[in-house]
């Protein structure tokens, strides 16, 4: 495994340098985007402080409102969980574009099981199981039968997009389920009273689970042998194979983990509201695709993915607050801002360096 | 080798399968999806409740839904019951042809991009943009002409407007891909959401028909819509549109196979490095093929407005996504798109028949769509099935050398 990077520096003199420069280039664009965002927010806050009656004042009020942070955290949960799942799969070399489908199927199953058993946490587990099963199907199709990952991922999305409203219609007679009980939020005394940041300490259990998952994923990738295997499986599967670790098994494990994580996100999404709505693009409504952009922008780093999710979700939260205050931007246009931002981010950051072997089938050599 | 190149490699592997093999795989995928769909109907029938009289019995167990009835309605119903003796060109068969006509264009749109190695998931958005532009453009122009002359002038004009605006919207992900290296799969999905959102904003605001409760534009006059010949007007189908669609199939086939541009597109799809080595301007080909792909999507939108609705209304059905299924099922071959569009037209039109005749939720067809894509994406599965060998330990080389014979054996196994 260790001679792989050495090999690359040997062979690629000019090409290697060009790639390095390109990477640096992209890296600085990324930093630039982040920097500009922070600068814009700071400028807005100062302007708001100076002219509290202007639109900047309203905006900075919205930004510093504790409700905004609480809403951003809540909106982050499904996207960030799916993004973490996407990191696991893609780092191992399997591009999982079906995250949207995993979110949909788990969102529905969680409500169904919760309704059946009366237990919110049983429902949560049900959602995770459903998503993991669908991810297992995806794994068999792409790893076992070497199907094209993008097309198979698209199929996973479309199957879930049909199956969840179909099941809801069969069971409840409508694409929307009835409402079930939700779990109360957990409040840490004293800390929850801090202005703005208090929202971090008075949130639904899924928010805390997300924090744990972000840290856990980071720990797995940075500190464990399994994390190194996943990376090797995506960057240099041959080396991993030579080292005696089965690439196929590592990839199966990674895709299943992506199913578990996306399942947690989908279950949290629907159980937070106590209902699954399955009309049109369903309640998931593109969150799985935004998750993909979030981890690309976060450069496959769990913490980075979480922060970029917070950026998208924060935007969404600010627009909700603004809507409530009746700012004169039409609702339909505000709603598409996250999608526009995603395109702008992609256009500025351009291609993130995918794992070397992502999208390729790996054939074990005996 | 970049990720985009690898994606193209993967696509080329799909294209590499021989034509016979492709047809066999597509047929097998369809049959298998229908079988799984039947199981799904049975399972769903166990999960819902009905009276004992309504239930059907298989294997000594009662089910509320009967898959035989479902698929009978889905396929025969869509063809207007050709065996019942009361077939008329004005019935459900016209609906099937109508759906097929629209799917021809969205299918060609996806297929063209695919052949260039680009995954255009944005046909839906391009269709929405084309449809809205056509509805507004033709409405404006319809005040200038009228009568038969109006029809002759306005229909080509409307198709042109749809093609131009759909093409421009398709050029956006093309430019982003060529010059900013942004992945077209993500950008086109995002552009779908944006097109729907902006269309909703415009149609519920400045362009809203003041006389209608729905979010729609002012309806086009009758002479600005496709004329109903042979099939009557009841089902909003025009044979003129279908003929135009078949013309587009032939034209795209000719462009891809017999022109310099088509050569550029095909080589960039199959062998991007070789193409660039051979002097193909990769960036230009990307932008051009996505623009043309968007234009075809835009024409589908124009057809939808001028043949089906007579106005632009929010919530355009998912023809763009079905176009992906049609194209994949057709192996991205324009001639194959013709057949696959007819087949999928049957599925779409049969959905409404199923809805009338049974209690089975119409989303079933959505599931079938996903299953078909899934199975067509895994030719390896059918090769193994055909070989009768369980377990995936085969070498890719073995598949390549005897792929043809495998396909033949696959045919026998299917029957």
Mean pLDDT score across all residues of chain B:
83
ipTM > 0.85? no
User: Which band of pLDDT confidence, cut at 50, 70 and 90, is reported for residue B169?
Assistant: very high
- In degrees, rounded to 5, the angle at the alpha carbon of residue A358 between the alpha carbons of residues A262 and B22 is 95
Q: Which of residues 15-34 of A touch B (CB under 8 A)?
A: none
Query: pLDDT tens, B324-333?
Result: 889 988 888 9
Please say whether the beta carbons of A97 and A157 come within 8 A: yes
Mutate to test the interface with A, among B2, B4, B7 (most CBs of A within 10 A): B7
Q: Which residue has the higher pLDDT, A184 or A235?
A: A235
Around Cβ B263, how many Cβ atoms within 10 Å? 15
Query: pLDDT tens, B87-130?
Result: 777 778 888 999 999 999 999 999 999 999 898 989 999 999 99
A257 in reach of chain B (CB within 8 A): no
Nearest to A150 among B185, B325, B381 (CB): B185
Instruction: Give the minimum alpha-carbon distance from A318 to chain B in angstroms, rounded to a whole number.
Output: 18
Q: Which of residues 303-322 of A touch B (CB under 8 A)?
A: none
Instruction: Give the minimum alpha-carbon distance from A357 to chain B in angstroms, rounded to a whole number.
Output: 8
Stretch A69-86: mean pLDDT, rounded?
Answer: 92
State the sign of the Cα–Cα–Cα–Cα dihedral A346, A348, A354, A358: positive
Stretch A231-244: mean pLDDT, rounded?
Answer: 90
User: Which band of pLDDT confidence, cut at 50, 70 and 90, is reported for residue A229?
Assistant: very high
Q: Which residue of A has its CA nearest to B186?
A: A289
pLDDT for the residue B170: 96
Residue A362 has pLDDT above 90, yes or no: no
Residue A18 has pLDDT above 60, yes or no: no
Lowest pLDDT segment from A56-65, A290-299, A330-339, B9-18: B9-18
Give dist(CA A54, CA A71) in Å, integer.
24
Lowest pLDDT segment from A335-339, B221-225, B325-329, B405-409: B405-409
Q: Which residue has the higher pLDDT, A124 or B363?
A: A124
Identify the CA nearest to B306 among candidates B174, B164, B133: B133
Nearest to A162 among B180, B205, B370 (CB): B370
User: Which band of pLDDT confidence, cut at 50, 70 and 90, is reported for residue B4?
Assistant: low
Model confidence, pTM: 0.83
Q: Is A350 strand, coil or helix?
A: coil
Identify the CA nearest to A231 among candidates A96, A12, A360, A239: A239
pLDDT for the residue A329: 67
Query: pLDDT tens, B234-293?
Result: 677 888 889 999 999 999 999 998 998 888 888 888 777 777 787 788 889 999 999 999
Residue A176 with chain B: CB contacts under 8 Å: none
Give me the count of residues in chain A. 366
Report the percentage of chain B scoring pLDDT > 70. 87
Stretch A303-319: mean pLDDT, rounded?
Answer: 85
- Bridge partners (DSSP) listed for residue B61: B58
pLDDT for the residue B245: 93
Give dist(CA A131, CA A263) in Å, integer.
5
Identify the CA nearest to B110 among candidates B310, B314, B318, B374: B318
Instruction: Give the minimum alpha-carbon distance from B358 to chain A in angstroms, rounded to a whole number.
Output: 12
Residue A289 with chain B: CB contacts under 8 Å: 186, 189-190
Please say whether the beta carbons of B48 and B64 come within 8 A: yes
Would you state the structure tokens that stand for residue A189, as one six-digit string?
Answer: 């005394």
- Judged by CB atoms closer than 8 Å, whether chains meet at B367 and A162 is answered as yes
Identify the CA nearest to A156 among candidates B287, B367, B21: B367
Please say whether the beta carbons of A21 and A290 come within 8 A: no
Task: Tell me, letter by letter, the H, E, C secondary structure of B34-74.
Answer: HHHHHHHHHHHHHHCCCCCCCCEEECCEEECCCHHHHHHHH
Residue B396 with chain A: CB contacts under 8 Å: 363
Q: Which residue of B has its CA nearest to A287?
A: B190
Please say whether the beta carbons of B231 and B238 come within 8 A: yes
Nearest to B374 among A159, A330, A339 (CB): A159
Residue A159 with chain B: CB contacts under 8 Å: 367, 370-371, 374
Instruction: Give the minimum alpha-carbon distance from B259 to chain A in angstroms, rounded to a whole number.
Output: 29
Mean pLDDT score across all residues of chain A:
82
pLDDT for the residue B410: 35
Residue B119 with chain A: CB contacts under 8 Å: 150
A146 in reach of chain B (CB within 8 A): yes
Please say whether the beta carbons of B369 and B34 come within 8 A: no
Residue B10 with chain A: CB contacts under 8 Å: 148-150, 359-360
pLDDT for the residue B2: 54
User: Which band of pLDDT confidence, cut at 50, 70 and 90, is reported for residue A5?
Assistant: very low
Residue B176 has pLDDT above 80, yes or no: yes
Q: Is B394 strand, coil or helix?
A: coil
Q: Which residue of A has its CA nearest to B188?
A: A343
Query: pLDDT tens, A121-175?
Result: 999 999 999 999 999 999 999 998 888 888 899 899 999 999 999 999 999 988 8
Identify the CA nearest to B303 among candidates B326, B278, B284, B320: B320
Q: Which residue of A has its CA nearest to B322?
A: A158
Q: Which residue of A has its CA nearest to B44?
A: A170
Total CB pairs under 8 A between chain A and B: 167
Residue B373 with chain A: CB contacts under 8 Å: 151, 154-155, 158
Nearest to A351 among B181, B376, B392 (CB): B181
Q: Which of residues 324-353 of A touch B (CB under 8 A)?
A: 330, 332-333, 335-336, 339-340, 342-343, 346-348, 350-351
Please say whether the beta carbons of B337 and B330 come within 8 A: yes
Q: Which of residues 91-110 of A touch B (CB under 8 A)?
A: 97
Would you state the structure tokens that stand for residue B266, as one six-digit string?
Answer: 């095909």
User: Which band of pLDDT confidence, cut at 50, 70 and 90, is reported for residue A8?
Assistant: very low
- Bridge partners (DSSP) listed for residue B270: none
Residue B402 has pLDDT above 60, yes or no: no
pLDDT for the residue A27: 57
Q: Which residue of B has its CA nearest to A169?
A: B361
Residues 6+ apart with CB under 8 A from A135: A96, A98, A102, A255, A256, A258, A259, A260, A262, A263
Residue A302 has pLDDT above 70, yes or no: yes
Give dist(CA A263, CA A266) in Å, integer.
5
- Bridge partners (DSSP) listed for residue B63: B56
- Judged by CB atoms closer than 8 Å, whether chains meet at A359 and B3 is answered as yes
Residue B174 has pLDDT above 80, yes or no: yes
User: Which band of pLDDT confidence, cut at 50, 70 and 90, is reported for residue B15?
Assistant: low
Per-residue exposure over B340-363, b if at least 16 CB sit within 10 Å of its own CB, e if not: bbbbbbbbbbbbbbbeeebbbbbb
Cα within 13 Å of Cα(A139), Cβ side: 25
User: Which band of pLDDT confidence, cut at 50, 70 and 90, is reported for residue A231?
Assistant: very high
Q: Is B348 strand, coil or helix?
A: helix
Q: Which residue has the higher pLDDT, A167 or A30?
A: A167
Residue B190 with chain A: CB contacts under 8 Å: 286, 289, 293, 339-340, 342-343
Please say whether the beta carbons of B64 and B45 come within 8 A: yes
Q: Is A356 strand, coil or helix?
A: coil
Burial (CB count <10 Å: 0-12, 13-18, 19+), residue B414: middle
Identify the CA nearest to B100 among candidates B350, B290, B361: B350
Q: Which residue has the higher pLDDT, B396 or B144?
A: B144
Residue A15 has pLDDT above 70, yes or no: no
pLDDT for the residue B17: 57
- Judged by CB atoms closer than 8 Å, whether chains meet at B197 and A339 is answered as yes
pLDDT for the residue A118: 87
- Judged by CB atoms closer than 8 Å, whether chains meet at A347 and B180 is answered as yes
Query: pLDDT tens, A312-355?
Result: 888 777 777 777 666 666 767 777 877 888 788 778 776 556 77
Residue A363 with chain B: CB contacts under 8 Å: 395-396
Nearest to B193 among A163, A339, A358 (CB): A339
Nearest to A145 among B47, B194, B381 (CB): B381
Residue that the structure tokens 């070989």 belong to: B387
- Judged by CB atoms closer than 8 Å, whether chains meet at B44 and A170 is answered as yes
Q: Which of residues 167-226 of A touch B (CB under 8 A)?
A: 167, 169-171, 175
- Judged by CB atoms closer than 8 Å, whether chains meet at B189 and A289 is answered as yes
Give me the helices (H) in chain A, please: 3-11, 14-50, 55-64, 66-91, 99-117, 120-139, 149-172, 205-223, 225-235, 237-242, 247-273, 287-297, 302-324, 331-335, 337-349
pLDDT for the residue B78: 84
pLDDT for the residue B13: 56
Residue A308 with chain B: CB contacts under 8 Å: none
């Amino acid at each position: 495994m260790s001679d792989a990077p050495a090999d690359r520096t040997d062979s690629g003199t000019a090409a290697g340098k060009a790639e390095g420069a390109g990477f640096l280039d992209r890296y600085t664009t990324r930093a630039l985007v982040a920097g500009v965002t922070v600068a814009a927010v700071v400028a807005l806050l100062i302007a708001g402080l100076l002219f509290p009656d202007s639109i900047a004042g309203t905006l900075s009020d919205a930004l510093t409102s504790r409700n905004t942070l609480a809403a951003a955290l809540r909106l982050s949960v499904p996207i960030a969980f799916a993004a973490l799942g996407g990191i696991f799969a893609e780092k191992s070399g399997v591009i999982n574009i079906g995250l949207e489908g995993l979110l949909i199927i788990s969102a529905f199953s969680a409500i169904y099981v919760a309704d059946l058993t009366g237990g919110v946490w049983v429902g949560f587990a049900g959602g995770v199981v459903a998503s993991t099963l669908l991810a297992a199907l995806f794994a068999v199709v792409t790893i076992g039968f070497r199907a094209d990952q993008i097309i198979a991922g698209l199929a996973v999305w479309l199957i879930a997009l049909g199956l969840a409203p179909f099941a809801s219609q069969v069971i409840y007679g409508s694409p929307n389920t009835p409402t079930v009980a939700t779990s109360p939020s957990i409040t840490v005394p004293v800390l929850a009273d801090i202005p703005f940041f208090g929202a971090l300490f008075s949130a639904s259990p899924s928010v805390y689970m997300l924090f744990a998952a972000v840290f856990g994923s980071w720990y797995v990738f940075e500190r464990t042998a399994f994390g190194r295997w996943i990376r090797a499986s995506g960057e240099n599967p041959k080396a991993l194979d030579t080292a005696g670790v089965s690439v196929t098994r590592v990839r199966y494990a990674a895709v299943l983990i992506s199913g578990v994580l996306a399942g947690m996100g989908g279950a949290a999404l629907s159980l937070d509201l106590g209902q699954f709505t399955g009309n049109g693009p369903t309640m998931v409504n593109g969150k799985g695709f935004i998750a993909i952009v979030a981890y690309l922008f976060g450069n496959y780093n769990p913490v980075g993915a979480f922060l970029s999710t917070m950026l998208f979700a924060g935007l969404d939260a600010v627009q909700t607050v603004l809507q409530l205050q009746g700012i004169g931007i039409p609702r339909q246009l505000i709603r598409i801002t996250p999608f526009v931002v995603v395109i702008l981010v992609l256009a500025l950051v351009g291609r993130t360096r995918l794992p070397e072997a992502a999208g390729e089938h790996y054939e074990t050599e005996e | 080798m970049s990720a985009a190149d690898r994606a193209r490699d993967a696509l080329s592997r799909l294209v590499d399968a021989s034509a016979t093999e492709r047809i066999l795989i597509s047929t097998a995928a369809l049959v298998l999806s229908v079988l799984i769909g039947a199981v799904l109907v049975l399972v769903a029938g166990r999960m819902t409740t009905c009276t004992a009289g309504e239930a059907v019995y298989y294997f000594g167990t009662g089910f509320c839904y009967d898959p035989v009835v479902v698929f009978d309605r889905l396929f025969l119903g869509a063809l207007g019951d050709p065996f019942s003796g009361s077939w008329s060109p004005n019935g459900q068969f016209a609906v099937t042809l109508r759906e097929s006509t629209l799917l021809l264009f969205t299918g060609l749109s996806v297929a063209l991009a695919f052949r260039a190695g680009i995954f255009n998931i944005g046909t839906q958005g391009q269709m929405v943009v084309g449809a809205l532009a056509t509805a507004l453009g033709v409405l404006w122009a319809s005040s200038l002409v009228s009568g038969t002359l109006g029809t002759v002038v306005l229909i080509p004009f409307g198709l042109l407007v749809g093609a131009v605006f759909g093409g421009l919207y398709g050029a956006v992900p093309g430019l982003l891909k060529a010059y900013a290296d942004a992945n077209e799969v993500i950008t086109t999905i995002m552009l779908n959401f944006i097109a729907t959102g902006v269309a909703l904003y415009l149609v519920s605001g400045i362009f809203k028909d003041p006389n209608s409760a729905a979010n729609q534009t002012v309806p086009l006059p009758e002479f600005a819509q496709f004329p109903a010949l042979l099939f009557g007007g009841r089902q909003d189908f025009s044979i003129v549109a279908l003929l135009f669609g078949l013309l587009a199939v032939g034209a795209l086939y000719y462009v891809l196979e017999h022109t310099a541009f088509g050569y550029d597109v095909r080589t960039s799809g199959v062998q991007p490095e070789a193409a660039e080595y051979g002097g193909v301007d990769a960036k230009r080909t990307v932008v051009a093929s996505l623009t043309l792909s968007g234009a075809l999507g835009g024409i589908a939108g124009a057809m939808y407005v001028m043949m089906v609705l007579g106005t632009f209304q929010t919530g355009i059905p998912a023809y763009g996504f079905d176009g992906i299924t049609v194209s994949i099922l057709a192996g991205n071959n324009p001639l194959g798109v013709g057949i696959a569009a007819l087949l999928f037209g049957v599925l779409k039109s049969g959905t409404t028949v199923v809805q009338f005749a049974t209690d089975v939720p119409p989303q079933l067809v959505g599931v079938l769509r996903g299953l078909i894509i899934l199975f067509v994406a895994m030719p390896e599965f059918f090769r193994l099935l055909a070989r009768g060998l369980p377990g995936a330990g085969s070498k890719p080389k073995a598949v390549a050398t005897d792929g043809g014979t495998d396909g033949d054996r696959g045919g026998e196994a299917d029957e």
